[in-house]
Structure 1
Amino acid sequence: MKRFTNKTVLITGGTSGMGFATAQRLLDEGAYVVITGRDRTRLDAAVARLGAAPERILAVRADVASQADLDHLMRRTETWRGHLDAVFANAGVGVFKPAAEITEADFDHVVDVNFKGVFFTVHKALPLLRDGGAVVINASWTLHRGLSVASVYSASKAAVHNLARTLGADLAPRGIRVNSVSPGYIDTEMYRKATPTPDAEARNVAEVPLGSLGHPGDVAAAVAFLASDDAAYITGQDLVIDGGLVGSVPAAIQG
């Protein structure tokens, strides 16, 4: 399929994991892709791994928590392509501690990136985003189910899913659709840092009815669907990509 031929898509946090996989998917489907990351070396390595023609990809060093960086990102994007057809607001961070151990610095870091960063990514992209375009926000399965060590992280993800609903209503007169995706346990760099032992991973997998971790490409496929014309009548929704984690109890642990 070439659903994104000649379309321009911005992906924040595109150097690894779900952002990188989505960049690869959309490049394969014909898109011009802008990726961001906070580290220039990682950005350059991601571009090399993607292997796209230089005219098809733009890598911009940007921290979504910085208004100045977002302004710079949009100027570079406008100079390069003049417009956007879709945005995947993917950049995010996680602090996983019991609530009693969360510091103000932890709180500010998570909210600045996961909530404020997502809001202002979309806000600042709006002048470039064509009518009839699409926004996809990366939320999390934890907005649907409590996780004891993820109070601030989960709240930030619930907030951005609510943005999908409210911005979906706000931007509907322009035909811009806004949806979120809620990945479950996806085998990414961030997941590996939060799950350092084989025993912890085994416990996670045991909760998943399909019996395995998800792959970044599973999320990329869902993002590509929501950003494409195949989802032309879908807005304000959350698509859970979790192997059944939220909605089902695995047969193996039913007693």
Structure 2
Amino acid sequence: MSTSDGTGPGGALHRPIGAHYPDLPGKVAVITGAARGMGAVFARGLAARGVHVVGGDLDGERMSTTADAINDALKSTVDEPGRVVGTAVDVTSAEQHDRLAATALAEFGRLDHWVNNAGIFPFAPAAEISPDQLGGVLRVNVEGVLYGAQAAARHLGPGGAIVNMSSVSATRVRRGRGAYCTSKAAVAHLTESLAVEFGDQGIRVNAIAPGYIDTDMTRWVKEDPVALRHAVDTVPLHRIGSPEEVFGALLFLLSDSARYITGHSIAVDGGSRHV
């Protein structure tokens, strides 16, 4: 059996995903919230497969540092890696998404994929959710997805793909996360709406719904023995997932192997939504 720290007989589950898709090298992807966590894993994983990446993050300095680190690491380990360009972006601004698209076109001459990964994870009991908290999470987690998809759709051609980050919290109640759960339910439904309308342009729109994943956003789970035991007990695979395992779903959804899949949310949750 795997242990709660995400390791087991097969070794660390943070090892890179081995899948490769021959249609991806040379493509160009924009990823928001790419300075750390899952966004950084996404950027590195795509670049390792020859995809050029424009990473945007509210912390532009950290984004640039992350991009440089990925580029330096891949130079010595990968033949013909993609290049990662880091820039600042506030996802609550529609205009700044347009600048991300413009950066991709200026740097690489094309745009094929867009990953709306940026998000926030506020906590408050339902009776204490403030207007500022609710407004803030909806601006980042929902408006940020809409504006990113709009910017992408202005430049993507047939075969282009947009992937949004939803959550198993879109369908499961988590105490103290009412505002967050609401925002992710909105992302799931918005994904379906965008898939219907952008399908006219041949653009696919899907979402990934992670469960408990080992990132800074869920560090509180690992630091609280009671919360960790509860999390592991409610996951049929009895462990917390890794960002690399979420990347596996992203890689598939961006590839031509998913060319007839649109309007869906793929749960990467160890089966927790069924418990």
Structure 1 length-normalised TM: 0.92
* Pairwise CA distance, 1:205: 1.4
Match in the other structure for 2:13 = none
| Structure 2 gap ranges (5+) | 1-19, 76-80
Change (3 A) 1:55 1:204: closer
Match in the other structure for 1:33 = 53
* 8 Å CA contact retained: 2:32, 2:117: yes
Q: How many Å separate the matches in 1 of 2:160 and 2:109?
A: 14
1:6-45 equivalent positions in 2, closer than 5 A:
6-45=26-65
* 8 Å CA contact retained: 1:142, 1:154: yes
Q: Which moved more, 1:192-201 or 1:20-29?
A: 192-201
Q: How many Å separate the matches in 2 of 1:141 and 1:121?
A: 21
Moved over 3 A (4+): 52-55, 193-196
* 8 Å CA contact retained: 1:183, 1:242: yes
Cα RMSD of the aligned pairs, angstroms, is: 1.7
* 8 Å CA contact retained: 1:25, 1:221: no
| Deviations, residues 159-209 of structure 1 (Å, cap 9, x unaligned) | 111121111110112211111110000000111156642332222112111
Q: Which moved more, 1:239-248 or 1:79-88?
A: 79-88
* 8 Å CA contact retained: 2:166, 2:185: yes
Q: Does 1:90 align with 2:117?
A: yes
Identity across the alignment (%): 36
| Structure 1 gap ranges (5+) | 249-255
Q: Which of 223, 226, 239 is the equivalent residue of 1:199?
A: 226
Q: How many residues align?
A: 248
Q: 1:169 corresponds to which letter in structure 2?
A: V
1:18-167 equivalent positions in 2, closer than 5 A:
18-51=38-71, 52=74, 56-167=83-194
Q: How many Å separate the matches in 2 of 1:49 and 1:115?
A: 30
Q: 1:227 corresponds to which letter in structure 2?
A: L
Q: Does 1:175 align with 2:202?
A: yes
Match in the other structure for 2:15 = none
For the residue of structure 2 that corresponds to 1:80, the secondary structure is helix
* 8 Å CA contact retained: 1:83, 1:130: no
| Deviations, residues 121-164 of structure 1 (Å, cap 9, x unaligned) | 11112222122111110000011211121111111111111121
Match in the other structure for 1:252 = none
* 8 Å CA contact retained: 2:167, 2:211: yes
